[in-house]
């Protein structure tokens, strides 16, 4: 950018860099995967922060978080038809932070256009077959956050809005790393729930029972009512389309726990889904679960790594945890979860840019 200053008998030509005061356009904003130093990273990564919105420790923490969660989603096969030929395609998340969008302070801010243009640049201006790139842009002086997700990530607008709304307090207080970390965890949780394919385990070999297996036990000298393990009914998914299978599966789970009242089926499905989302969000932030995933993915563990990981979890904390709380656990085999009341604020404007306070 050039500024001409006309003074008596003097013409001053002052040249400023295009990213003056931390202002960028999508054309000159760097890519953390190919320009880590410009993004204030030592090595290629997922965070770009040329304006030093975060300090070094925060930047490293957030980058490590994305990479850690990437190792979790790498184990999940993307279910989008466009990704059939790319079985190893993983969810990609990039966070771009900047002081202000644009080089002219008088120009109106269009964070949606900036984000879409930057994402296209990150895709090398090509339409990819399997598009799982999620880009989160946080412009501090504009006080706006915008997220755009690739088609094959299958993350709805509602998911992206909820990810922001749940963390809006962090942005308002200037705790950007906490807000971004919370958004990323929710996005990863939603991606996991959307694409995870649960395959029924093969039937165990050996003698079978009549469907009810009773085990009596004595506690404190008083015989308790025998607990019953109920063998689930088999369901044949033959003839059900791939798009419908996940919802039919949810209907089966909702019916098994809440009953098959048709007037309440949609409500019960919602309760099951929201319970699963909450659990998923908690698990991806849990150190013990992350250790299970690390052992499962360790090639040195050899075959049956996941089985070994869960055996280790059983021995290291699950058995002791059960013994600690078993007398307080509910004894009902089937319980219908309750829908938690929504605490989301008013939905974001229709154009999709999420602001977090007055300028």
8 occurs within a structural domain = no
Nearest to 30, CA basis, from 13, 18, 12: 18
Together in a domain, 174 and 258: no
Could you tell me if 160 and 147 are in contact, meaning their C-beta atoms sit under 8 angstroms apart? yes
Together in a domain, 26 and 112: yes
First to last CA, the chain: 25
What is the SS3 assignment for 59? helix
For position 98, what pLDDT does the model report?
A: 94
Nearby residues of 181 by Cβ (< 8 Å), 6 or more positions away: 61, 62, 65
Neighbours of 252 (CB within 10 A): 16
What is the SS3 assignment for 96? strand
What distance lies between CA 74 and its chain's CA centroid?
13
Together in a domain, 150 and 36: yes
**Domain carrying residue 282:** 239-326
331 occurs within a structural domain = no
For position 213, what pLDDT does the model report?
A: 35
Could you give the CA distance from residue 282 to residue 321 in angstroms, rounded to a whole number?
17
What distance lies between CA 57 and its chain's CA centroid?
22
9 occurs within a structural domain = no
Together in a domain, 31 and 168: yes
Together in a domain, 185 and 314: no
Tokens for 283, please give them.
């698990």
Q: How many CA atoms are closer than 13 Å to the CA of 349, on its beta-carbon side?
A: 10
3-state helix, strand, coil in the chain (%, to 5): 40, 15, 45
pLDDT in tens, the chain (359 residues): 444 433 333 333 333 344 444 578 889 999 999 999 999 999 999 999 999 999 999 999 999 999 999 988 888 888 888 888 887 788 999 999 999 887 666 566 788 889 999 999 998 876 678 899 999 999 998 899 999 999 999 998 888 988 998 898 899 889 999 999 999 999 999 998 888 753 333 333 333 333 333 333 333 332 233 344 444 556 777 888 888 888 888 888 887 777 777 888 888 888 888 888 888 878 878 888 888 877 877 777 777 788 888 888 888 988 888 788 777 766 554 567 666 664 444 333 323 345 555 44
The tally of domains found in the chain comes to 2
Instruction: Kindly state the greatest CA–CA separation across the chain.
Output: 105
**DSSP letter for each residue of 228-275:** EEEPPPP---TT--HHHHHHHHHHHHHHHHH---TTTHHHHHHHHHHH
Could you tell me if 338 and 275 are in contact, meaning their C-beta atoms sit under 8 angstroms apart? no
332 occurs within a structural domain = no
174 occurs within a structural domain = yes
Could you give the CA distance from residue 240 to residue 245 in angstroms, rounded to a whole number?
6
What is the SS3 assignment for 87? coil
Could you give the CA distance from residue 215 to residue 219 in angstroms, rounded to a whole number?
13
For position 293, what pLDDT does the model report?
A: 79
Together in a domain, 245 and 190: no
Neighbours of 177 (CB within 10 A): 20
Question: Could you tell me whether strands 222-223 and 218-219 are parallel, antiparallel, or unpaired per DSSP bridges?
Answer: antiparallel
Together in a domain, 124 and 19: yes
Q: Which long-range contacts (CB under 8 A, 24 or more apart) does 122-125 make?
A: 122/31, 122/33, 122/94
Tokens for 287, please give them.
């150190």
Nearest to 60, CA basis, from 77, 46, 80: 46
Tokens for 202, please give them.
């093969």
Together in a domain, 61 and 120: yes
**CATH, residue 54:** 3.10.310.50
Nearest to 288, CA basis, from 270, 319, 309: 309
115 occurs within a structural domain = yes
208 occurs within a structural domain = no
Nearby residues of 87 by Cβ (< 8 Å), 6 or more positions away: 77, 78
183 occurs within a structural domain = yes
For position 185, what pLDDT does the model report?
A: 93
Together in a domain, 185 and 265: no
Together in a domain, 350 and 320: no
Could you give the CA distance from residue 160 to residue 188 in angstroms, rounded to a whole number?
11
Q: What are phi and psi of 92, to 5 degrees?
A: -115, 130
Together in a domain, 319 and 350: no
Together in a domain, 298 and 350: no
């Amino acid at each position: 950018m050039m500024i001409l200053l006309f003074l008596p008998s003097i013409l001053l030509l002052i040249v400023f860099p295009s990213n003056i005061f931390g202002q960028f356009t999508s054309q000159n904003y760097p890519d953390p995967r190919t320009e880590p130093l410009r993004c204030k990273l030592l090595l290629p990564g997922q965070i770009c922060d040329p304006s030093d919105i975060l300090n070094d420790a925060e930047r490293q923490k957030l980058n490590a978080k994305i990479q850690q969660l990437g190792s979790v989603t790498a184990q999940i096969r993307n279910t989008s038809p466009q990704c059939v030929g790319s079985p190893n395609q993983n969810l990609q998340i990039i966070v771009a932070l900047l002081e202000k969008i644009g080089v002219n302070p008088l120009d109106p801010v269009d964070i949606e256009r900036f984000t879409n243009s930057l994402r296209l640049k990150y895709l090398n201006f090509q339409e990819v077959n399997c598009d799982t790139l999620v880009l989160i842009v946080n412009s501090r002086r504009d006080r706006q956050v915008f997220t755009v997700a690739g088609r094959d990530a299958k993350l709805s607008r509602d998911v992206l809005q909820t990810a922001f709304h749940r963390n809006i307090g962090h942005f308002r207080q200037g705790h950007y790393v906490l807000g971004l970390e919370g958004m990323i965890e929710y996005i990863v949780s939603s991606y996991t729930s959307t694409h995870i394919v649960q395959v029924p385990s093969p039937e165990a070999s050996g003698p079978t029972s009549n469907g009810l297996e009773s085990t009596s036990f004595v506690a404190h000298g008083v015989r308790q009512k025998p607990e019953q393990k109920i063998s689930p009914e088999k369901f044949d998914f033959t003839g059900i389309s791939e798009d419908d299978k996940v919802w039919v599966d949810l209907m089966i789970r909702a019916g098994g726990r809440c009953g098959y009242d048709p007037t309440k089926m949609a409500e019960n499905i919602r309760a099951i889904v929201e319970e699963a989302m909450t659990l998923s969000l908690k698990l991806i932030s849990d150190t013990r679960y992350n250790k299970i995933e690390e052992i499962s993915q360790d090639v040195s563990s050899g075959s049956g790594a996941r089985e070994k990981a869960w055996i280790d979890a059983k021995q290291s904390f699950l058995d002791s945890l059960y013994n600690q709380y078993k007398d307080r656990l509910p004894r009902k085999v089937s319980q219908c979860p309750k829908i938690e009341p929504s605490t989301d604020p008013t939905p974001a404007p229709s154009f999709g840019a999420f602001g977090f306070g007055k300028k």
